[in-house]
């Protein structure tokens, strides 16, 4: 259950994480984070913009588990890009979570040419703050989220190459170019909305494969991520589904079926594109 991948700096990251996107209600967030850890999740993913950092922090602290056994990810909100902003916003995140370090901190979305003439410089300035916090030991690994190759290129020339890129990744949204670019440069890919925000659950091919492997469609999606060496971050507030989503290590999808899943055309997802977002 607690298998790990290794990041380019040698730090280990659990192969599956618990996503907290869209869990806004405080009581629910505290409760599900607590349950997730008790169930066996060791990797919890949150973000400033989710508005639940305090609740996630309370959930973490409600369980008696050594801090070093947990892997906690935070993300910098888009309105706080830039060097100084990123430094102070990171401290707000630590305070809200009640932690003294993060395992992973990500730039949530790239500044893009669509909105900013100096988008590359904005990303570089933000990255400089991340590198500084990393050197100070306040973050054990640093990375980005929703970056495509053209967003990543400027950062690749800096002293620290991003260790992680968290992107929307699920059957029907393979993002092959981004995946290959990252994997060729030892940037571990994480999958947000690995079930396509739940839309993949009714896909006919996946339903058939679920029957073939005697698994649920969700487990097929998550196992497909894992076999691509991508870390899925499923979100569920339903305990039975949370447990189901953890249990993906006792079967293997055959190569032919992996290939068929890779070829599923776009079937739905968030609909968000990194160069088109206006938030
Ligand atoms: P819920 O939170 O009510 O359990 P994604 O992670 O791709 O964004 O998908 C999240 C959606 O998928 C949520 O609506 C969640 O519902 C649902 N979901 C998560 N895990 C499962 C599962 N194992 N089976 C069915 N639906 C699931």
Task: Dump pLDDT digits (tens) for 131-158.
Answer: 999 999 999 999 999 999 999 999 999 9
> For residue 269, which atom of ligand 1 is closest to its CA?
7
Q: Read off the pTM.
A: 0.98
Whether 219 is in the pocket of ligand 1, judged by its Cβ within 6 Å, is no
* Ligand 1 midpoint to CA 195 (Å): 7
Q: What confidence tens digit (pLDDT) does each residue in 169-178 have?
A: 999 999 999 9
**pLDDT cut 70: percent of the chain above it:** 100
pLDDT for position 237:
97
Rounded Cα distance between 31 and 27, Å, is 6
- Of 235, 246, 230, give the one whose Cα is nearest residue 40: 246
Give the catalytic positions in this structure. Answer: 50
Q: What per-residue confidence (pLDDT) applies to 41? A: 98
- Asked if 147 contacts 184 with a C-beta cutoff of 8 angstroms, the reply is no
Task: Say what the pLDDT of residue 279 is.
Answer: 86
Which pLDDT does position 116 carry in this prediction? Answer: 94
Residues of the chain with pLDDT under 50: none
197 lines ligand 1 (CB under 6 A): yes
Within 10 angstroms of residue 22's Cβ, the number of other Cβ atoms is: 11
Q: For position 2, what pLDDT does the model report?
A: 75
DSSP helix/strand/coil, 270: coil
Q: Which atom of ligand 1 is nearest to the CA of 219?
A: 23
Report CA dihedral (45, 49, 52, 54) to the nearest 10 degrees. Answer: 100
Whether ligand 1 lies within 6 angstroms of the CB of 52 is answered as no
Please state, in angstroms and rounded to a whole number, the distance separating the CA atoms of residues 44 and 60. 9
How remote is the CA of residue 116 from the centroid of ligand 1, in Å? 34
Find the 101 Cα to ligand 1 centroid distance in Å.
29
- Ligand 1 near 232 CB (within 6 A): no
| Cα(193) to centroid(ligand 1), Å | 9
Say if ligand 1 is within 6 A of residue 243 CB. Answer: no
């Amino acid at each position: 259950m607690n298998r790990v991948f290794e990041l380019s700096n040698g730090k280990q990251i659990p192969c599956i994480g618990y996503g907290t996107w869209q869990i806004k209600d405080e009581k629910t967030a505290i409760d599900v984070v607590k349950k997730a850890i008790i169930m066996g999740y060791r990797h919890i993913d949150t973000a400033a913009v989710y508005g639940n950092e305090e609740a996630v922090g309370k959930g973490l602290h409600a369980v008696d588990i050594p801090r070093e056994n947990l892997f906690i990810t935070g993300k910098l909100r888009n309105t706080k890009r830039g060097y100084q902003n990123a430094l102070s916003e990171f401290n707000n995140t630590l305070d809200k979570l009640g932690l003294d370090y993060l395992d992973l901190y990500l730039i949530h979305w790239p500044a893009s040419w669509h909105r900013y003439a100096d988008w590359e410089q904005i990303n570089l300035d933000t990255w400089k703050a991340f590198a500084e916090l990393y050197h100070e030991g306040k973050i054990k690994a640093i990375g980005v989220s929703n970056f495509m190759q053209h967003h990543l290129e400027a950062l690749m020339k800096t002293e620290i190459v991003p260790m992680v890129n968290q992107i929307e990744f699920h059957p029907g949204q393979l993002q092959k170019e981004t995946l290959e670019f990252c994997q060729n440069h030892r940037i571990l890919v994480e999958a947000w909305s690995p079930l396509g925000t739940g839309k993949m659950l009714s896909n006919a091919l996946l339903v058939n494969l679920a029957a073939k492997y005697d698994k649920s469609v969700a487990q097929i999606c998550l196992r497909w991520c894992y076999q691509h060496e991508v870390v899925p971050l499923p979100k569920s507030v339903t305990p039975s589904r949370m447990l189901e989503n953890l249990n993906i290590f006792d079967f293997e999808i055959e190569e032919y079926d992996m290939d068929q899943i890779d070829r599923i055309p776009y079937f739905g997802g968030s609909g968000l594109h990194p160069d088109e977002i206006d938030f």
